[in-house]
Copies of this chain bind each other. A is one copy, B any other.
Amino acid sequence: MNEKILVVDDEKPIVDILRYNLSKEGYNVLAAYDGDEAINIALKEDPDLILLDIMLPKQDGFSVCKKLREKITSPIIMLTARGEEVDKVLGLELGADDYITKPFSMRELMARVKANLRRIALSEPGGEEEIIRLGDLELDLKSYVVRKKGKPLDLTFREYELIKYLSTQAGQVFTREKLLEEVWGYEYYGDIRTVDVTVRRLREKVEDDPANPTYIITKRGVGYYFRKQ
């Protein structure tokens, strides 16, 4: 509880608005205004998550990210200027866990902060839970493979993301809105029934009898869930 978050940006107004909003959500906020300071504070305080701008005085975000990655495992979210795909790829290669393009909404930022913290919280106890087993199914989170009775299923990206989201929280019912937000992304505003069709396609591959699903269950009037156990 009460996670420490380090915000690194040389523009004070940005740091201020981030501090304001993160504090409001109950996080403990640290700030650094250049690359050197970021590294000092990060090593000393060991924050649970780092928000790291790329454009920084003294040493840039890439350099900071690379150096920090050697010492700490906390998630690093890069803040990048609009459009530059290069940044994104480079950042992720250097060990960043996520990136957000400016300008971003507070809602989007909060969602990503929470998602990254949640991911850590889930994987922490019991070390690295790499493979999820549910009935005949086996989800290998690392290699993006789902096996049924040992045989690998050929799932597409969306199908994989959906079954991963549902199965890691088996038993819990999610509305279509929630699934669109979590699986499709914070900025996706497509048709809500897209979820139905993706569920249909997933069932086609996962279920013995897609018309009588035993894994991905419909909760009428609410949404879908993955059957526990």
Interface residues of A (CB under 8 A from B): 11, 13-14, 16-17, 20-21, 24-25, 73, 75, 86-87, 89-99, 102-108, 110-112, 114-116, 118-119, 123, 142-144, 156-158, 160, 171-173, 177-178, 180-181, 189-191, 219-222, 225
Q: List 14 A-B contacts (CB under 8 A).
A: A14-B90, A17-B90, A87-B102, A97-B105, A97-B106, A98-B105, A107-B115, A112-B189, A118-B177, A118-B178, A156-B221, A157-B221, A157-B222, A160-B221
Given A90-B14, A93-B20, A177:B107 Cβ within 8 A: no
Can you add 13 more A-B contacts, CB < 8 Å, to A75-B107, A157-B221? Answer: A11-B91, A13-B91, A13-B93, A89-B103, A96-B105, A97-B106, A107-B112, A107-B191, A108-B189, A143-B225, A144-B173, A156-B220, A160-B221
On chain B, the residues within 8 Å of A20 by CB distance are: 93, 95
- CB <8 Å contact, B86 and A103: yes
In contact, B220 and A157 (Cβ under 8 angstroms): yes
Contacts of A11 in B (CB 8 A): 91
Among B73, B103, B157, the residue within 8 A (CB) of A87 is B103
Cβ-defined contact, B156 with A143, below 8 A: no
Least CB distance from A12 to B in Å reads 9
